[in-house]
Chain A
Amino acid sequence: MRMTKTGARVPVTRTETLPIRSGDDVVRIRQAVRTRAIEAGLGLVDQTKIVTAASELARNALDYGGGGEVRVDVLQEGMRKGVRLSFSDQGPGIPDIQKALTDHYTTGGGLGLGLGGAKRLSNEFHIESAVGVGTRVTIARWK
């Protein structure tokens, strides 16, 4: 079993894994995350936040990681419900994570706001990356 620091011990009421291979997959991921966020009872603002963060991270996995997958978990801890997303790719990895998180830093001609933006849009954010091995970004948003 793979463990992540983000909500590691929280019971998962539902889980699914979606591929990230094309721009269409990114659209599908946004839709799936929206559905799960509604299921977890997230309000409109929180839904929009996690869907937007998902869009950023899925796009990064596609554009920089050469594609990968996302695991979507609906969490429940007592009365607290939430959604956790774990994006992983086997791409080149990120040599300097601090730099990548810096606003406006981009190696791909983007706005350089995706990674930092996803962090600000989430309640929990965890990133691990190894050069030549790949990248995993896990975020969670609670109701």
Chain B
Amino acid sequence: MANEGTGALVRVVSEEEGTILTEWLGLLKSGGALQTGRIREAELQTQAKTVLGQLRDALASGGSNADLEAYATLRDTLGEISRSRAIQGFTPTDTANFVLSLKEPIFSSLSRSHANDAKTLAAAILSTSHLLDQLSLHTMEVFLQSREDVIGRQGQEIAELSTPVVRLWDGILALPLIGTLDSARTGVVMENLLQAIVDEEAEIAIIDITGVPTVDTLVAQHLLKAIAAARLMGADCIISGIRPQIAQTMVHLGVELNVVSKATLADAFALALRRTGRTVVRKQPVSPSAS
């Protein structure tokens, strides 16, 4: 029965490819595939034409199981389309519908050609449905995987973006930490800091933790390691931005950073300038009226 059905499917797709393609594109368009403007009509046409052609070739090999070797090219093409849709910001529904909306045109072609053979028609519809479901699941898997890849990459980018080392003056660096210091990010932070100390031949590194919401013993340990490593590279650290509630909590925890700390980054910078033999002076006295 399955073979009978597959045979009918194979014949219909090769004999009525043109009709099926036209109907499929019609459905895609009326379903709103072009409305979001994420894809152009010509591109959609090319994709549909390629997929249908490869489906015809795969079917010609005799089977209607998407796991077969004959379907490798088609699976790759669908994977490619899914990947690009994930990046273009298509919804999962849009992506699944691309393949699923091929059912209707094939069903109508099958119904026309097998109007008098209910048994074969039923079998063919079953094989078609099964095959397109398999292919649609494949597109969804690739789609989700691609989305996860995108999210993972963004996470990495954020980790790097949010840990810049800023050169404040000759030999004076600042590392403004913002957000949660999880282990993955801390690695990047340390690496950036030490590299910058080497590159700038820095004498003083100011680590500003104004933007760190919680300083627990793990964060404290990361800070201690950074301070020790900086010292080995010849730079002294100043910690700034320890808010009063964080200072209290650190005392209760029993954490001692054993470095100079300043309330604000500005205070820390002033201290760093002094320590490196510089003073900041006002050029002209400020008149009382001008402020």
Contacts and interface: CB of A to CB of B under 8 A. Distances in A.
B218 interface: yes
A44 B245 contact: yes
Interface string B214-239: 11111011000000000000000000
Interface in B74-113: none
Contact of B216 (A23, A45, A52, A116): A52
B248 A45 contact: yes
Interface stretch (A5-13, A69-77, A82-90, A106-114): A106-114
B218 A52 contact: no
A103 B254 contact: yes
B245 A48 contact: yes
Interface in B191-250: 213-218, 220-221, 244-246, 248-249
Contacts of A45: 244-245, 248-249
A48 B183 contact: no
Contacts, number: 62
B182 A121 contact: no
Interface class of chain B by DSSP = helix
A126 interface: no
B253 to A, nearest CB: 4
A114 B180 contact: no
A48 B216 contact: no
B218 A113 contact: no
Contacts of A110: 217-218, 221
Contacts of B180: 27
A50 to B, nearest CB: 10
A49 B249 contact: yes
B255 to A, nearest CB: 6
A48 B245 CA distance: 7
Contact of A116 (B183, B215, B254): B254
Given A23-B182, A23-B183, A111-B220, A51 B214 contact: yes
Nearest to A120: B252
Interface string A110-129: 11011011001100000000
A59 B248 CA distance: 21
A1 B185 CA distance: 41
A30 interface: yes
Given A55-B216, A111-B217, A114-B217, A120 B182 contact: no
8 contacts: A45-B248, A45-B249, A49-B248, A49-B252, A52-B253, A111-B217, A114-B217, A120-B254
Interface of B: 180, 182-183, 213-218, 220-221, 244-246, 248-249, 252-255
Given A110-B217, A113-B255, 16 more contacts: A23-B182, A45-B245, A47-B245, A48-B214, A49-B245, A49-B249, A51-B214, A52-B214, A56-B217, A111-B217, A111-B221, A114-B217, A116-B254, A117-B254, A121-B252, A121-B253
